[in-house]
Amino acid sequence: MRLGVMIGAERGDMTRKVNKLAADIQWAEAAGLDSAWMPQVPDDFDCLSMVALMAAHTSTIELGTAVVPLQAQHPVALARQALSVHAIAEGRLALGVGPSHHWIIRDMLGLPYDKPAAYTRDYLEVLNASLAGPGPVDVENDTFTVHNPTALAAETPLPVLVAALGPVMLQIAGELADGTVLWMADERAIGDHIAPRINKAADNAGRPAPRIVAGIPVCLCANSEIDTAKERANRILAEAETSPNYQRLLDRGDARNVGDLCAAGDEDAILARFKRFADAGVTDLSVRLLPIGDNRDELIASKYRTREVIAELAKAVR
């Protein structure tokens, strides 16, 4: 299993956030992590643009988006942007995409959210054709009628990963993408629901075994502080739980909330949790560092302690 880290969504003015992002990605590569994943937060930086920034400060680490909302951009335009960033990153981009959630697409952007799975299939047909250049892109389906030339072609494979939570989306991801990017999925949900479905779909489509990228919070702490870590996770990361998509995914596992997903405790406890995710079928784990403390100094110290352990665990889980 490969180990990566979530980077981004920091507070502060734009200059500070850019500088912090650069420092964080330099740490991740120096620590020997396999990948870094940039979320697309509705009110924050464009994640693909920030991946280009991270590429300028690194040379080996894989750089992923988790995830780009499909409805906000035409697939030809997204392919053009992704290929541009992939070239800047010298072939290190992993393009995570997804249909997002109704409260972002419909309520915030004012766009339709009627049939997200069907839309995703149609979108991927155009996106994949646009990434397979150079040459004409000719795709007609229920959503798009595209006849567009492209001169761009990836010199190295550009993996496309789809945020897929339910059976239909997992079928689509297995057939048309290189894997899935997850949040709110515990070991049982992955082992019993996600991995079997996406692997079967990929196998039936004659595609290689898909990547399963699972995101979880991680907190290095004393065993007596595990409940504190879970409470903090629920306090600062629970907004997404309101999504029906995530609620249905939680119902397929043992976790009741994001706090239960948190790998918390000492180094041995965190490693044991990581190994359970690997046993469930996860190919890539993306950790969201979760510091705890009563003040800023304690939070910073907690973050750096967790960083040190994560760097060591990256070697242990390979």
Q: pLDDT digit of tens for each residue in the chain (318 aa)?
A: 999 999 986 777 899 999 999 999 999 999 999 999 999 988 899 999 999 999 999 999 999 999 999 999 999 999 999 999 999 999 999 999 999 887 788 888 898 889 999 999 999 999 999 999 999 999 999 999 999 999 999 999 999 999 999 999 999 999 999 999 999 999 999 999 999 999 999 999 999 999 999 999 999 999 999 999 999 999 999 876 678 888 899 999 999 999 999 999 999 999 999 999 999 999 999 999 999 999 999 999 999 999 999 999 998 988
**Beta-carbon neighbour count of residue 87 at 10 Å?**
18
Whether residue 73 is contained in a domain is answered as: yes
Give the up-direction half-sphere exposure of residue 192: CA atoms within 13 A in the CB hemisphere: 11
14 located within any domain: yes
| Cβ atoms within 10 Å of 53's Cβ, excluding its own | 17
Does residue 44 sit within a domain? yes
Range of the domain at 35: 1-162
8: in domain = yes
- Cα 65–Cα 167–Cα 217 angle in degrees, nearest 5: 40
**Residue 177 falls inside a structural domain:** no
Cis previous bond, 67, omega within 30? yes
Q: Residue 4 is part of a domain; what is its CATH number?
A: 3.20.20.30
- Counting the structural domains of the chain, the total is 1
157 part of a folded domain: yes
Q: Looking at the domain assignment, is residue 296 inside a domain?
A: no
pTM of the predicted model as reported, rounded to 2 decimal places: 0.95
Handedness of CA 265, 267, 271, 272 (dihedral sign): negative
Dihedral angle at the C-alpha atoms of 281, 284, 289, 290, nearest 10 degrees?
A: -20
